[in-house]
Structure 1
Amino acid sequence: MASIFGHALTAYALGKGFSKEMITWKFWLLGIICSILPDADVIGFKFGIAYEDFWGHRGFSHSLVFALLLGILVTLIFYNKKILSRAGLALIIYFTICTASHGILDAMTSGGLGIAFFSPFDNTRYFFPWRPIQVSPIGAGKFFSIWGIKVLLSELIWIGIPVGIYILAMHFLKRKKFF
């Protein structure tokens, strides 16, 4: 998996495409939580759920269906007055993409069993052919090590630079009134 830092940075960048009226602390926080939440499935290890199971790590919680359901649920709970508007649809899309970005980044890592993108319809695990991101260790103790430093350096290159370019592009496009 990519680290929580890489996932959170991606959600932050995705939010930069929205208008200032929509962007609040709640918006940022919920987007970041959506981008990190799929990894809550690691708790299954404590309950004997195998990695490759439906509820296992990188299983259903990393799927596109889960991303859509979470996007809808977050918008319903936190933006229920906007749910039937264009802003509500935009929020559903944002929270869905933040959640889906988790699996996309994880499919670009150097380890694990792959991502069940199409669960619950197909539980096959997939990786992308190009996997430049160093896989992050599971657990905070292991993260604060040489392995964790290698992960952060990898993410700086493969997530940080593209995200930085995207943020600059959004800033430029907004200044030029393209959005």
Structure 2
Amino acid sequence: MPTILTHAAVPLAMYVASESGRVSSRLLAAGVVAAMLPDADVVAFAMHIPYADAFGHRGASHSLLFALLIAGLGAGVAKPLRSSPLQAMTWLFVCTASHPLLDAMTSGGLGVALAWPWNDARWFAPWRPIRVSPIGVGFLSARGMETLLSELRWVWLPLFVGAGMWKLINRKPGHPPPR
């Protein structure tokens, strides 16, 4: 998996790319939490649930159904998030679904149960450039630093370059480029 902080890159980049004021700070915060939420399944380790189990790490909480459930909750709390139900649903679905997609691009683990409960198979992306993050204290090792550098190269840099380009090509005519 990418580090928990790198899962926040997707909502942050979408926020940067969005038109000023379009996404409230509350909706942004909810998106960051939603993007990180699937990794709450690491409690399965403490509960002695096997990694490969449907409710183990990268199982049900890494499915598109889980992303839809979080999106549905977002529609119910759209008003406190200062958004419309459709905006909250869409935003939270994309943020939550980005998590298993990034995990599927890592170099290790068992893959993600993207189609759970219809299919228990674990899936990996055909291209897996992101180094898998060590869990726990191992994160503070040389391998943890290699993971962070991999994430900067393959996640943060492309997302923020893309967000910046999106802002440039969508600026209103007659407005100078940002400095």
Matching residue of 1:7: 7
Structure 2: which 5+ residue stretches go unaligned? 174-179
Gap change, CA 1:143 and 1:81, over 3 Å in 2: closer
Q: 1:105-124 maps to which residues of 2 (within 5 A)? A: 105-124=102-121
TM-score (norm 2): 0.89
Matching residue of 1:20: 20
Matched, 1:90 2:74: no
Q: 1:35-114 maps to which residues of 2 (within 5 A)? A: 35-79=35-79, 87-114=84-111
Given that residues 14 and 94 in structure 1 are in contact (C-alpha distance below 8 angstroms), is that contact kept between their aligned partners in structure 2?
A: no
1:52-85: CA deviation from partner (whole Å, max 9, x where unpaired): 11110000100001001101213312437988xx
1:112-160: CA deviation from partner (whole Å, max 9, x where unpaired): 0000000011110000111000001122x22111111001100111002
What letter corresponds to residue 12 of structure 1 in structure 2?
L
2:152 to 153, 156, 170: 156
Matched, 1:168 2:167: no
What letter corresponds to residue 44 of structure 1 in structure 2?
A
Gap change, CA 1:41 and 1:81, over 3 Å in 2: closer
Counterparts of 1:40 and 1:158, CA distance in 2: 24
Counterparts of 2:9 and 2:81, CA distance in 1: 28
Matched, 1:135 2:132: yes
Matching residue of 2:177: none
Counterparts of 1:160 and 1:21, CA distance in 2: 23
Kindly state the Cα deviation for residue 11 of structure 1 after the two structures are TM-superposed. Answer: 1.6
Given that residues 81 and 88 in structure 2 are in contact (C-alpha distance below 8 angstroms), is that contact kept between their aligned partners in structure 1?
A: no
What letter corresponds to residue 89 of structure 2 in structure 1?
I
Counterparts of 1:53 and 1:80, CA distance in 2: 36
Gap change, CA 1:17 and 1:93, over 3 Å in 2: farther
Matching residue of 1:146: 142
Q: SS at the partner of 1:137?
A: coil
Counterparts of 1:133 and 1:110, CA distance in 2: 6
Moved over 4 A (4+): 80-83
Structure 1: which 5+ residue stretches go unaligned? none
Given that residues 16 and 170 in structure 1 are in contact (C-alpha distance below 8 angstroms), is that contact kept between their aligned partners in structure 2?
A: no
Q: Tell me the percent identity.
A: 41
